[in-house]
Amino acid sequence: MPPPDPAALPLAGVRVLELSQIMAGPICGLMLADMGAEVIKIEKFPAGDDARGYARPNDPGLAPSFVMLNRGKRSVAVDIRQPAGQDVIRRLAARCDIVTENFRRGKLDALGLGYEQLRAANPGLVYCSISGYGPNGPLSDKGGFDLVLQAFSGLISVTGSLGGEQAKPGNSVADINAGILAALGSLSAYVRRLRTGIGSKVETSLLQASLQQMYWFAAAYFSSGAIARPMGTAHPLIAPYQTFRCAEGAIAIGGGNQANWQRIAEVLGHPEWVDDPRFRTGRDRLAHQAALEALITQALAPHGADHWIERLDRAGVPVGPVHDVKQALEHPQSSAVSMVVEVDHAEGGTTRSLGLPLHFDGVSPHARSAAPRVGEQTHEVLREFDFGEEEIERLQRAQVIAQHAAA
């Protein structure tokens, strides 16, 4: 399928200034870029975004983690510690629709780059801040990283094997969700601006993004004082709803309602389970979850995952294999929904990346241009913002800005 017309993308014509780095803010910018926004990434130099250094020992060239989150953006290298660098940012922000930042609270205000300062020249500006602990409260001045806020929010306390050690979820839950929330908040404020002409300061945090993941656990605590503990892959409110080992491989079974439970019992050859007093209702099954898990595991043991998936699928039971990363990314379904896409690479050729998890009129757009090198488009962008050649040269000589030198 040919790429969509850039002018027809949902955010065509929207200009974003990204003053954020590492993960949460760049995820917000990535999603906006995929939907057609022009994203200008501000980076310190020479190192650039800290995520450029997040690489495994044998990773060549640009860090794959940075490449993943920064396609479709243009990099402008600016020293915002210098007054002249701050002026560069103000001039860019004056002609942007959205600014995103994840500095420690108060840092950009001290540099003259806070919301109130930038909106003076651009009253319709949407200014999105992502912090560790949020804009208010006794910890609002603290910095934070994904791991720290997963721990603080209780996420780690409910993750891990039943009766075993607590564990961190396998991915950066706080950062990823904060980036999605930042995109949602920024676009909501932008829609409001289209209606009223008034800009907004949008704020979210890794704490809020983590606590939002705790719906079921918070419901239990608020209603009864129950404090959840790790349950492995089991669900706190539904049984059977977890992964199970088979003779070969493992499967996830979603017995989310009574009809599914009856089908599971029939497929596994034990229709009598439905009338067992321990398993008659959802609450009964939850109360006897350990016994139910043992029986299902025993029933699955003679055959492999494929055998059971075929039979449970035929019966209409939600079921799927437990994939590793390779199996998930190489599965044709992942490509069919445009979650594995080809994008340009700064070092030549193309690379695979995760796509945008949205479709618009049957099409999932994604930015195709390569993740930039530090300052790769500095001069280009400044010219577009009416910086003169002599001014650009002067800023370069003063080391206020930097332009990547092509090899």
pLDDT of 7 higher than 70 = yes
Q: Cα(315)–Cα(362) distance, rounded to whole angstroms?
A: 29
Indicate the helix (H) or strand (E) that contains 383: helix 378-384
pLDDT of 126 higher than 90 = yes
pLDDT of 95 higher than 90 = yes
The predicted pLDDT at position 164 comes to 87
294 pLDDT band, cuts 50/70/90, is: very high
407 pLDDT band, cuts 50/70/90, is: low
Q: Which residue has the higher pLDDT, 59 or 222?
A: 222
The predicted pLDDT at position 141 comes to 95
pLDDT of 406 higher than 80 = no
Nearest to 89 by CA among 60, 118, 131: 118
Across the range 364-378, mean pLDDT stands at 98
Nearest to 206 by CA among 167, 137, 148: 148
Q: What is the pTM of this model?
A: 0.96
Across the range 341-366, mean pLDDT stands at 97
CATH class (in words) of the domain with range 250-321: alpha beta
3-state helix vs strand vs coil in the chain, percent to 5: 40, 15, 45
The predicted pLDDT at position 60 comes to 85
1 pLDDT band, cuts 50/70/90, is: low
**pLDDT tens track for 20-78:** 999 999 999 999 999 999 999 999 999 999 999 999 999 988 999 999 999 999 999 99
75-to-38, 88, 111, 162, 317 alpha-carbon distances in Å = 11, 14, 21, 46, 48
Q: Is cis: bond before 372, omega within 30 of 0?
A: no
- DSSP label at residue 269: T
pLDDT of 110 higher than 60 = yes
Residue spans of the domains in the chain: they are 6-213+331-402, 250-321
The architecture that CATH gives domain 6-213+331-402 is 3-Layer(aba) Sandwich (3.40)
Proportion of the chain above pLDDT 70, given as a percent:
99
The predicted pLDDT at position 282 comes to 98
Give the number of other CB atoms < 10 A from CB of residue 329: 14
pLDDT of 88 higher than 60 = yes
Residue-level length of the chain: 407
Residue matched to tokens 């796509």: 355
Across the range 155-166, mean pLDDT stands at 93
Nearest to 20 by CA among 149, 124, 175: 175
